[in-house]
Protein backbone atom coordinates (compact mmCIF):
# COMPACT_ATOMS: atom_id res chain seq x y z
CA UNK A 1 0.00 0.00 0.00
CA UNK A 2 1.42 3.41 -0.98
CA UNK A 3 0.99 5.99 1.72
CA UNK A 4 2.59 8.85 -0.20
CA UNK A 5 0.10 11.31 -1.60
CA UNK A 6 0.67 13.92 -4.24
CA UNK A 7 3.80 16.07 -3.96
CA UNK A 8 1.68 19.22 -4.08
CA UNK A 9 -0.56 18.28 -1.19
CA UNK A 10 1.30 20.42 1.32
CA UNK A 11 0.99 23.44 -0.98
CA UNK A 12 -2.70 22.72 -1.35
CA UNK A 13 -3.09 22.25 2.38
CA UNK A 14 -1.56 25.66 3.00
CA UNK A 15 -3.90 27.24 0.48
CA UNK A 16 -6.89 25.56 2.12
CA UNK A 17 -5.88 26.62 5.63
CA UNK A 18 -5.20 30.20 4.66
CA UNK A 19 -8.50 30.46 2.81
CA UNK A 20 -6.80 31.09 -0.54
CA UNK A 21 -8.41 28.09 -2.18
CA UNK A 22 -9.82 28.28 -4.80
CA UNK A 23 -10.09 31.90 -5.90
CA UNK A 24 -6.74 33.21 -4.69
CA UNK A 25 -4.79 30.24 -6.05
CA UNK A 26 -2.97 30.06 -9.32
CA UNK A 27 -4.80 28.61 -12.27
CA UNK A 28 -2.03 26.07 -12.57
CA UNK A 29 -2.75 24.68 -9.08
CA UNK A 30 -6.47 24.57 -9.79
CA UNK A 31 -5.81 22.69 -13.02
CA UNK A 32 -3.55 20.27 -11.15
CA UNK A 33 -6.23 19.58 -8.55
CA UNK A 34 -8.77 18.90 -11.29
CA UNK A 35 -6.59 16.15 -12.67
CA UNK A 36 -5.14 14.74 -9.41
CA UNK A 37 -7.38 12.30 -7.52
CA UNK A 38 -5.38 12.68 -4.30
CA UNK A 39 -5.58 16.48 -4.25
CA UNK A 40 -9.22 16.34 -5.25
CA UNK A 41 -9.85 14.07 -2.30
CA UNK A 42 -8.04 16.50 0.00
CA UNK A 43 -10.11 19.43 -1.20
CA UNK A 44 -13.36 17.50 -0.77
CA UNK A 45 -12.49 16.35 2.73
CA UNK A 46 -11.14 19.68 3.92
CA UNK A 47 -14.15 21.59 2.63
CA UNK A 48 -16.60 19.16 4.18
CA UNK A 49 -14.85 19.07 7.54
CA UNK A 50 -14.41 22.82 7.71
CA UNK A 51 -18.11 23.30 7.00
CA UNK A 52 -18.94 20.82 9.74
CA UNK A 53 -16.54 22.58 12.10
CA UNK A 54 -18.20 25.92 11.44
CA UNK A 55 -21.66 24.46 12.04
CA UNK A 56 -20.59 22.77 15.28
CA UNK A 57 -18.84 25.86 16.57
CA UNK A 58 -21.94 27.93 15.93
CA UNK A 59 -24.03 25.43 17.88
CA UNK A 60 -21.65 25.22 20.84
CA UNK A 61 -23.04 26.51 24.13
CA UNK A 62 -20.18 27.76 26.22
CA UNK A 63 -20.03 28.19 29.96
CA UNK A 64 -18.60 31.22 31.71
CA UNK A 65 -14.80 31.42 31.73
CA UNK A 66 -15.05 33.10 35.14
CA UNK A 67 -16.76 30.10 36.64
CA UNK A 68 -14.11 27.75 35.23
CA UNK A 69 -11.35 30.01 36.50
CA UNK A 70 -12.92 30.09 39.95
CA UNK A 71 -13.36 26.29 40.04
CA UNK A 72 -9.77 25.85 38.92
CA UNK A 73 -8.58 28.04 41.79
CA UNK A 74 -10.57 25.95 44.25
CA UNK A 75 -9.28 22.70 42.81
CA UNK A 76 -5.74 23.98 42.91
CA UNK A 77 -6.13 24.99 46.52
CA UNK A 78 -7.60 21.58 47.42
CA UNK A 79 -4.71 19.87 45.67
CA UNK A 80 -2.27 22.00 47.66
CA UNK A 81 -4.02 21.18 50.93
CA UNK A 82 -4.01 17.50 50.05
CA UNK A 83 -0.30 17.63 49.28
CA UNK A 84 0.37 19.27 52.63
CA UNK A 85 -1.73 16.84 54.68
CA UNK A 86 -0.52 13.71 52.91
CA UNK A 87 2.59 13.30 55.13
CA UNK A 88 0.43 13.81 58.21
CA UNK A 89 -1.86 11.03 57.15
CA UNK A 90 1.17 8.85 56.42
CA UNK A 91 2.48 9.47 59.95
CA UNK A 92 -0.86 8.58 61.45
CA UNK A 93 -1.11 5.39 59.47
CA UNK A 94 2.48 4.52 60.37
CA UNK A 95 1.79 5.11 64.08
CA UNK A 96 -1.31 2.97 63.88
CA UNK A 97 0.62 0.20 62.16
CA UNK A 98 3.36 0.32 64.83
CA UNK A 99 0.79 0.18 67.60
CA UNK A 100 -1.00 -2.73 66.03
CA UNK A 101 2.29 -4.56 65.51
CA UNK A 102 3.20 -3.93 69.16
CA UNK A 103 -0.17 -5.27 70.26
CA UNK A 104 0.17 -8.33 68.07
CA UNK A 105 3.72 -8.88 69.34
CA UNK A 106 2.56 -8.65 72.90
CA UNK A 107 -0.29 -11.08 72.28
CA UNK A 108 2.13 -13.43 70.53
CA UNK A 109 4.55 -13.21 73.43
CA UNK A 110 1.79 -13.97 75.93
CA UNK A 111 0.61 -16.92 73.85
CA UNK A 112 4.13 -18.32 73.62
CA UNK A 113 4.33 -18.25 77.43
CA UNK A 114 1.22 -20.42 77.72
CA UNK A 115 1.28 -24.20 77.71
CA UNK A 116 -2.11 -24.22 75.96
CA UNK A 117 -2.31 -21.18 73.61
CA UNK A 118 -5.55 -22.36 71.95
CA UNK A 119 -7.19 -22.71 75.32
CA UNK A 120 -5.99 -19.24 76.26
CA UNK A 121 -7.53 -17.77 73.12
CA UNK A 122 -10.81 -19.42 74.03
CA UNK A 123 -10.59 -17.91 77.52
CA UNK A 124 -9.72 -14.45 76.15
CA UNK A 125 -13.25 -12.94 76.45
CA UNK A 126 -13.44 -14.14 80.05
CA UNK A 127 -9.97 -12.69 80.71
CA UNK A 128 -11.03 -9.35 79.26
CA UNK A 129 -14.16 -9.15 81.39
CA UNK A 130 -12.13 -9.95 84.52
CA UNK A 131 -9.57 -7.28 83.64
CA UNK A 132 -12.24 -4.69 82.91
CA UNK A 133 -13.94 -5.51 86.21
CA UNK A 134 -10.61 -5.14 88.02
CA UNK A 135 -9.99 -1.78 86.30
CA UNK A 136 -13.43 -0.43 87.09
CA UNK A 137 -13.32 -1.63 90.70
CA UNK A 138 -9.77 -0.70 91.69
CA UNK A 139 -8.64 1.86 89.09
CA UNK A 140 -5.82 1.62 86.60
CA UNK A 141 -3.07 2.12 89.18
CA UNK A 142 -4.10 -0.97 91.16
CA UNK A 143 -4.57 -3.22 88.17
CA UNK A 144 -0.94 -4.36 88.29
CA UNK A 145 0.79 -5.38 85.10
CA UNK A 146 -2.48 -6.24 83.36
CA UNK A 147 -2.94 -2.61 82.21
CA UNK A 148 -0.78 -3.01 79.14
CA UNK A 149 -3.25 -4.64 76.74
CA UNK A 150 -6.18 -2.31 77.48
CA UNK A 151 -3.88 0.68 77.07
CA UNK A 152 -2.61 -0.62 73.75
CA UNK A 153 -6.16 -1.19 72.58
CA UNK A 154 -7.17 2.26 73.73
CA UNK A 155 -4.25 3.85 71.91
CA UNK A 156 -5.12 1.96 68.78
CA UNK A 157 -8.73 3.14 68.99
CA UNK A 158 -7.61 6.73 69.50
CA UNK A 159 -5.27 6.57 66.52
CA UNK A 160 -7.84 4.90 64.36
CA UNK A 161 -10.28 7.56 65.44
CA UNK A 162 -7.91 10.30 64.32
CA UNK A 163 -7.59 8.71 60.90
CA UNK A 164 -11.37 8.44 60.64
CA UNK A 165 -11.74 12.06 61.69
CA UNK A 166 -9.16 13.08 59.08
CA UNK A 167 -10.97 11.28 56.31
CA UNK A 168 -14.40 12.55 57.28
CA UNK A 169 -13.46 16.20 57.82
CA UNK A 170 -10.47 17.20 55.69
CA UNK A 171 -11.16 15.09 52.66
CA UNK A 172 -14.77 16.14 52.41
Partner 1 sequence: MTKRRMPWDNTLPTPLAGAAIETHAKVSPLDGDAFAGFYERSARPLWAYLARVSANPSLADDLVQESYLRFLTADRLPDLAAEGEQTARRYLFRIGSNLLRDHWRRPHTEQLDQAPEAAFTQETEAGASDVRMLLGPALQQMRPRDRQLLWLAYAEGYSHHEIAQATGLASASVRLLLFRARRKMAKLLGASERNKA
Between 76 and 123, name the residue whose CB sits nearer to partner 1: 76
The length of the chain, given as a count of residues: 172
Q: Which helix (H) or strand (E) holds 104?
A: helix 65-113
Between 31 and 72, name the residue whose CB sits nearer to partner 1: 72
Residue 84 touches partner 1, criterion: CB under 8 A: no
Q: Please report how close the Cβ of residue 40 comes to partner 1 at its closest, in angstroms.
A: 9
Q: Please report how close the Cβ of residue 32 comes to partner 1 at its closest, in angstroms.
A: 18
Segment interacting with partner 1 (CB under 8 A) among 12-20, 94-102, 106-114, 120-128: 12-20
Q: Please report how close the Cβ of residue 25 comes to partner 1 at its closest, in angstroms.
A: 17
Whole-angstrom distance, CA of residue 156 vs CA of residue 163? 11
CB 170 within 8 A of CB 85: yes
Between 44 and 148, name the residue whose CB sits nearer to partner 1: 44
CB 163 within 8 A of CB 92: yes
Between 35 and 66, name the residue whose CB sits nearer to partner 1: 66
Q: Please report how close the Cβ of residue 121 comes to partner 1 at its closest, in angstroms.
A: 43
Whole-angstrom distance, CA of residue 159 vs CA of residue 151? 12
Whole-angstrom distance, CA of residue 142 vs CA of residue 136? 10
Task: At 26, give phi and psi (nearest 5°).
Answer: -70, 150
CA 167 to chain centre: 15
What is the 8-class DSSP label of residue 168?
A: I
Residues 24-83 that bind partner 1 (CB under 8 A): 41, 44-46, 48-53, 55-63, 65-77, 79-80
Q: By CB under 8 A, name the binding residues for partner 1.
A: 1, 3, 13, 16-17, 41, 44-46, 48-53, 55-63, 65-77, 79-80
Amino acid sequence: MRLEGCARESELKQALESGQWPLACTGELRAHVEGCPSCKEQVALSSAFRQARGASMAAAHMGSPGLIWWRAQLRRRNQAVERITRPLLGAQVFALAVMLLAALGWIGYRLSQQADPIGMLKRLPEWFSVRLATLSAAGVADAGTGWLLPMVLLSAIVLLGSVVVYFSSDRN
